[in-house]
Chains A and B, each alone.
Chain A
Amino acid sequence: MDSKEPICITGIGVGCPLGFDFETVSAALLSGKSGVSHVRHFDASNHPSQIAASIGPIPSPNGISGEVFTKLTAKEKLYLHCASQAVEDAGISREFHRLKTGFITGAGPEWLLSWEDDFLTGGNNILLPGRELRPHEQFAKEHLEIKGPSLQISSACASGNHTLLLATEWLRNGIVDCCIAGACAINVTPLTLASFGNLRALSRRNQDPQKASRPFDKNRDGFVLGEGGALFVLETLDSAMRRGAKPHTFIVGGGCTSDAYHPVTPNPDTSKIEEAIHLALEQSNLKPADIGYINAHGTSTPLGDACEARAIKNLLGESSKKIPVSSTKGMTGHLLAASSAIETVSCIVALKSQMIPPTINLDEPDPECDLFHVPNQSIRHEMNHVLSNSFGFGGSNSCVVFAKA
């Protein structure tokens, strides 16, 4: 298969604090709606950070009994919801029996989540190493009768973009006929909220939850934990055309690097972030000026946002003054392993609507982050290509360029 074979996304499945379908999430993103509130599903009154973008009850897809659905973990439900919706949107479910379908998902500490869930309800699975844990996406794969290779990967908060780029390569190499890729994350648990809180990574603006996540703002004090996710059906344009499926967007290039600097702290020398963006542009055969919008990683941490802004300015030079940049984490919270999956939805929203979702709570831009921001209100902007940046703990950088379909 040709290396230039266009790869497109023909199916989207999404679930996050802003909604459980593309249209609802799209409207919320463009209206600058915040999904952040006080944590209510457990007692967080003794936590350093008591706020989060929690997902709430996950809807049951058609074709599964209520009894079976109730017994699934929240993450299994979310994977099932997103995968079912993506497959239905792509109109591909009836063809699975004749297709080799890949399933590439982004993960975090899956065992921690399972053990925590069990321990807090009186179990002792953490003491029993012989008890095998199941990947959370496995139920969705079996329920949808998807046959093909699976990969559960993690590059921390950069995972979602990695899944899309790996899926693109599997498709171009003919390893699979189509591929489901993306990530789902249930992050707002007592231990995870406490652990990130004690790491001093989270905002402690507990009195004003909806103002807490403020990427690139001078008064930012950390990120807000979020949860949710998105899965996508990827296939070659040729395959989509044969099926009569309409692409939502094209994945035209990507680049991945590692800082190799520190387990948590971003490298003040931003050359590896710049290299990831450069690789993405190079693979897309684009110049910086061809990018119409950058969906920033922009977590709202003092160090991270400043590093990203510096990298964008260093690499894109004069063009950076003309390319609108926003971070949607003010609305969705930081979904960790699933952050770039949900931000792929933001990029598709931008390309389809020709509107850029805003960075909410950006009241006083940090002089160290002097980019062409889109503060608080979405703007209309013509664009053919958008860049999505994602950077993770451990130093992973992943950047993807999407094109208008």
Chain B
Amino acid sequence: MHSNGIPRLLAFQDFHFPILAKSCIKIPVKEIPTLKPVVNSKLPHPFSPTILKNMDDQTLIAMNCILKASEQEGLEISKFKQWGLATCPRHPGRRRLLTTFKKFEREGAWIVSPHSVTYDALHSPAGLISQAFQINGPCIGAGGLAGLEGQAILAATSLFHLGKVDAVWAVITLPEQETASSEQPESFPEQLFAFAIALGKPESEVKDGVEAIHIKHSRVEENQTTKLTSQMIQKICDSNECPWWFHLSDGCHAKFSRFKKEK
């Protein structure tokens, strides 16, 4: 046993993390400005107007998704102090960076916004969400690029031993319907997608029927696997069941299901 009471995995043993809450949302980008004050008013620790103004849209929708998942399952949003968090945004800050690049080219270094450092890096959503919900356990960004979304779940399930962690949030956000092309170069996403899932400590004995995420640290048959896309996540949220293994990283897969004891 680990010093914090969590049973150790055995080599390549499958493990189950009970799902405490989950939710996914899609929001049109044009609705973000009106959504900002609404989300902020619901946070246990609301942001100052400056931070709220500069925050990337993906961070805002991530927080909204955590709020929705918590509300659905009756989790108290002021009680995440001993939680951990792993967020996977998909290259946030593209619009701000484009403006910054153009200004830099035109006007030089002194005009460059310092906000990219604060709001658009891989760690930024995790840092801001930890502040909003007063999460004092380990809070990290993971993945950050298209196709690496599974790393949020892999990272979250690895955080239990890094501090005093009762449960973890894994949050994935990504832009949808990005239509930019060389002909229409300045298009930006019309819609943002977010998925938030709260996981309890890995348990060696999960009760029958408990909704859990099953992590398998070994290979599975290729015809049983699928990519962790927003469409697939939406199906999981709608049906609470999924027969597919999602690829998290090389030799590491996850499945969402109600736990059934092996007979």
Contact = CB atoms under 8 A, between A and B. Distances in A.
B248 interface: yes
Contacts of A109: 93, 116, 120-122
Q: Which residue of A1, A127, A201 has the most chain B CB atoms within 10 A of its CB atom?
A: A127
Interface string A1-41: 11100000000000000000000000000000000000000
A162 B138 contact: yes
B163 A257 contact: yes
B186 A393 contact: no
B161 to A, nearest CB: 5
B12 A132 contact: no
Given A165-B162, A175-B217, A149 B250 contact: yes
A272 B136 contact: yes
Interface in A140-165: 147-156, 159, 162, 165
B19 interface: no
A194 B107 CA distance: 12
A208 interface: no
Interface string B1-37: 1110000111111000000000000000000000000
A166 B51 CA distance: 31
A219 interface: no
Q: Which residue of A112, A119, A132, A196 has the most chain B CB atoms within 10 A of its CB atom?
A: A112
Contact of B109 (A46, A116, A162, A254): A46
Q: Which residue of B8, B12, B113, B248 has the most chain A CB atoms within 10 A of its CB atom?
A: B8
B126 interface: yes
Contacts of B158: 151, 166, 169-170
Contacts of B104: 190-191, 194
B91 A111 contact: yes
B109 A396 contact: no
B121 A108 contact: yes
Given A194-B109, A396-B127, A148 B97 contact: no
Nearest to B248: A149
Interface string A161-204: 01001100110111100000000000000111111111111000
Interface string B151-180: 100110010011110000000000100101
A191 B101 contact: yes
A150 B250 contact: yes
A196 B112 CA distance: 9
A380 interface: no
Interface of A: 1-3, 44, 46-48, 100, 107-112, 115-116, 119, 124, 126-130, 132-135, 147-156, 159, 162, 165-166, 169-170, 172-175, 190-201, 254-264, 272, 275-276, 279, 282-283, 392-396, 398
15 contacts: A3-B2, A3-B3, A134-B145, A152-B145, A154-B140, A155-B141, A169-B158, A175-B9, A195-B112, A197-B112, A198-B112, A257-B138, A260-B139, A263-B118, A393-B117
Given A154-B141, A201-B117, 7 more contacts: A127-B180, A156-B123, A190-B109, A195-B114, A276-B163, A394-B123, A394-B139
